[in-house]
Structure 1
Amino acid sequence: MRVAIVSATPALGTDDDEALLLPALRAAGAEPVVVVWDDPVLDWAAFDVIVLRSTWDYTMRRDEFLAWVTATDAVTRLRNRPDVVRWNSDKTYLRELAGYGLPVVPTEFFSPGDRPAFPAGVPFVVKPTVSAGSRNTARYDPDEHDVARGHARRLLDRGRTIMVQPYVASVDERGETALVFVGGRYSHAVIKEALLVPGERATEDKLFATEKLHPVEPSGAELAVAQAVLAAIPFPRDELLYARVDLVIGADGTPAVLELELVEPSLMLPQAPPGAADVLARAIVELGS
């Protein structure tokens, strides 16, 4: 069985998960090959399964990427599915999650032509709704509305939709909790330390931000929220090869959804318990069986 582990040219060799996933796939009887999604000559039908992994440049070419995802799935099996990728690759899905009654970090969305507004008296974050790796994302203090407005306007003038969220103070103390699921089942969780630094301006120079990660046992409340998210989305959770739910702790002490990652999330396999890569490898092999 041939398995394509799909990356992007600038991301080759940078995915920490590969060092564990590739040997686990070989041990499971598969032949994994790391490829880039925009290779113009690759025969995608020659693979039994296509697994999106470090395709972190898609946010700058989303329409092209979605067209490739659809065309590729037509000749083989791609995971996660194209309809999942389309829905999850624009963070306006957070509005849908909130509509389901899930606890989501308060988020306002602004489209080109809108006049962006920012929360009063609290730090806040501005970023495009199609983004990854903290590109074009910045944190602002309450007195930095003018600077934030310039950031927002640059994105809006380029036809980007933006989102504005209050910065959750607990992130500076305890980080975010990322809960990883494989085949719809909980696998492991990791703490991601705070990435956004006050005064650091938005940039798109880097493909992704370097994260400081630590394994953690999620609280019962965190696990319950993550499970509720996967139960609510408009896709069968058992058909998701992988999912990652990123949570923060709000001012009231309860978990809130910051993001749901179903396209190309880091799965933090180096920080996972032994055997996590084997579970993922077996799930991939089962897709091609």
Structure 2
Amino acid sequence: MGRLTPWLYLAAPLGLLVIFTYVPVVSMFSYSLTNWDGVSYDSEFVGIDNYVQLFTRPELFQVFFVSLYYLAASLFQIVVALYFAVVLSFKTRFRNFFKGILFFPYLINGVAVGFVFLYFFKQGGTLDSFLGLLGVQSRQFWLGDPDLVNVSLSSVSVWRFLGLNFVLFLGAISAIPSELYEAAEIDGANRWQIFRSIIAPGIKPILGLVTILSISGSLSVFEIPYIMTGGANGSTTFVIQTVKQAFQFDKTGLASAAAVVLLALILLITWIQRKIVPDERNELA
């Protein structure tokens, strides 16, 4: 009975994991091989035809290029978050105040953020008014111009998720033993030398985690562009396209194939990240 006790405790969470994670994944893959419309009981097996469509139809493939805007924004976000985490890890005036300002946007609901910035980027709205105060007369269609819409939307993502990366970096820096900083200061090291020799190696695992989260997040962006533009003017992301294929065009098989591709991409990126930045516990073993 003693050996069964741990399994009895694990039975409920494992059952929920299988029912709500692995079973849907298997079902999604099976749907991706059919032309099921999501409503009828009948479906026709089409093999890999849905996958071929994803990579051969330009209107379906172009969403990968939209993700590049969010990827570039994520890389910029990592640099900014790391900068503030390093600066605020040292003794700075109003340090806790600035920590709160940086983390606060992450606490706001994504739908609320979308509606707030919808008026911010509106023609003649807050952004144009602010530029007017600076002497710049601007009446740009920030969300209507295909050349500006993805830059505008990805900048919102930078503002919203900066706090999450900042906290992750700050926690990793705080975990570095203070004795190392004291020894470096005794040796006369400046802050750049402390960052290069102590902080950068110490936060390497977290940097890898933040990178994988940023890349996977840039591929799965949904709520902000969906609320602000609905995918119009060339702002359709991978997830928005998948949702439209399933619920607007009744192509659940094609949408399932897109979801499988997204899952495969995230798993591939995670595998590459684990190879480039291996787990320190595995290295010690």
With normalisation by structure 2, the TM-score equals: 0.26
Q: Which has the higher strand share?
A: 1
The structure that has the greater radius of gyration is 2
With normalisation by structure 1, the TM-score equals: 0.26
Q: Which has the higher helix share?
A: 2
